[in-house]
A and B are shown apart, each in its own frame.
Chain A
């Protein structure tokens, strides 16, 4: 009858229609790298480059302009390392290089490997905050009860918007599980020497 051709749904129609949800499911996962790339390029979520910056250009330094930089440190749950900056903050002149130190002390009895993830607030400042040297570029291994000094060298670029007078640099240290498996087996002898002292870390 007249409607007969219309009442059949062609195979290609189904395939096209089925591809939309499959494609959108894939798109959800594609959002993950897209998000990272976007944030890397723009520094939108405060993510800063994990690689060393090589200052090729000489900056024009305005001696009168000051930006206050705060240093924060945090450790993730299950990371028994006391971790703090040697100084809480400093005033910097954009264009000049500064070096500060973070201290980390493993309070447990095992070797711990961790990775520090840096973050800058406000997010828009991230692309103007350049690290020349940083312990966050590589994994760090902490021997038990052995305090370490870890330097960070950085430049705040003069191109930073004038309205920003305060930048916060914060690090969060996370444990890396895989790396430790190898290491901790090497150090099993040292393990039972002392009782756990994780909880004594003071603020």
Chain B
């Protein structure tokens, strides 16, 4: 911690003195640029490419899962391998794709949106990123170890993950430790940046919503990730050092594992959705050509969702033999979260109401987010009702629920963000026509993929099973077809993004989207390597605010 201030001082010196020194203006050349970089834009780019790679890896695993489930019976893989696929698919998507993608967006956008030069701790930033490829490879390497990779589900319940787990589990534990470390460092950096580095004239309530939601997410991260680290540490000592936190034989309790896990796990799902709320709140006003409706209610709603997320964890555990009073409490607390969530949806819809709407690609994704995320919210509400969860728990209904909120929620918001800000980052435009084709392709296929899973779940098909009885055959086949189509849509997405970066039409205007508001649109296009050597002034901050704040 002692190096902190000098770290920043280095950065300030480098920029301050180098005003006319080419050396400090552009990025270094070659591979070492990326290894040693402390530039928030470089690190953001690294995060985003890492997340994209992991998305494709995790997606490939999903294709294995859907291929096996195409028909009843065992066709392609052994049940043990199938379970490794569901486990690693979940872990890779959560910790490798969604979370790093949001951190990448934070790195690129937060300094630009608050008029800061860089993140508060540029060197720690470099570390938080470079831990990730090692953690990710370690996690994936478990697949090739003797006894196979972890096969106990992404929730790794004890004693399946302690007494009955393969030897590779210790590597899984180490990988989770590293991922957690990276997230915590990233979150500390975000908090320090927002609290200390923003333009002196920008008050908290002047901040764009993406910044606000990330600030709150970062607090969730530093509060929740250490609990996960604690849980895997207990697993580690249970497995190797003779403790019995989760082993009834030594006086421990496996149900306690679930409490600790979900104490992390539920805040974690909000870690994956709050930044998405922020992104959508940036995009919708731009293409509705209206200020965001209810800015401050958005801030308060985000904060209350974050606080509530710590007191509802046992809605994942209605079937562990909780007393009625416990079930009632967790049921009502869970349902209460839909109030602030509803406020948000209401505000987005109201922002669009009577706006001069146009549907450029980012807006298409944002609108799709609002509709599809709301479907996921509704199924969540159903699951939150304790008596009905007895039927839905551990069925495909739960799978449908969290894929609506995570794929058509979190992931779609990330895609929206990339289409929205990519032109600013690279100074080049993507192909609108191809992007539109891709959009409809993805939207239709994702619904063919996940909507039938609601019916499968209601009919009682259990999750995490490679085989099923024949009455589930039709819906599974439909779902798999949707799955393959959705998977293929990412090839087109890759093509669109890569061609946009390499040979997209050049953009001259700083503002890219005619009615976009925000400080990020005041810097040159493409965004120069160093921005905001001088912090923006109050007047500019106010005129760039996309909301009617209380100034």
Q: Which residues of A contact B (CB under 8 A)?
A: 1-3, 5-11, 13-15, 17-18, 20-25, 27-29, 31-32, 35-36, 39, 42, 44-46, 76, 117, 121-124, 172, 174-175
Contacts and interface: CB of A to CB of B under 8 A. Distances in A.
B415 interface: no
A13 B321 contact: no
B228 to A, nearest CB: 8
Interface size class of B (residues with CB under 8 A): 35 or more
Contact of B199 (A3, A15, A46): A3
Contacts of B339: none
Nearest to B244: A174
9 contacts: A3-B199, A9-B5, A9-B120, A9-B195, A20-B223, A25-B227, A28-B260, A31-B227, A174-B248
Q: Which of A21, A28, A39 has the most CB of B within 10 A?
A: A21
A117 B222 CA distance: 37
Contact of A123 (B222, B224, B248, B323): B323
Contact of A22 (B197, B226, B256): B226
B188 interface: yes
B184 interface: yes
B1 A32 contact: no
B323 A124 contact: yes
Contacts of B188: 14, 17-18, 21
B497 interface: no
Contact of A24 (B9, B195, B224): B224
Contact of A13 (B192, B224, B322): B192
Say what secondary structure dominates the interface of chain A.
helix
B534 interface: yes
B229 interface: yes
B240 to A, nearest CB: 16
A3 B537 CA distance: 11
B131 to A, nearest CB: 15
A8 B196 contact: yes
A24 B192 contact: no
Interface of B: 1-2, 4-5, 8-9, 12, 116-117, 120-121, 184, 188, 191-192, 195-200, 222-227, 229-231, 233-234, 245, 248-251, 253, 255-256, 259-260, 263, 321-323, 326, 534-535
B370 to A, nearest CB: 33
B253 A45 contact: yes
A35 B222 CA distance: 22
A45 B225 contact: no
Contacts of B255: 45
B321 A121 contact: yes
A76 to B, nearest CB: 5
Given A7-B12, A8-B196, A122-B321, A27 B227 contact: yes
A5 B192 CA distance: 14
The 4 closest A-B pairs by CB, nearest first: A28-B230, A24-B226, A25-B226, A174-B249
A21 B184 contact: yes
Nearest to A43: B323
Given A17-B192, A35-B253, A28 B229 contact: yes
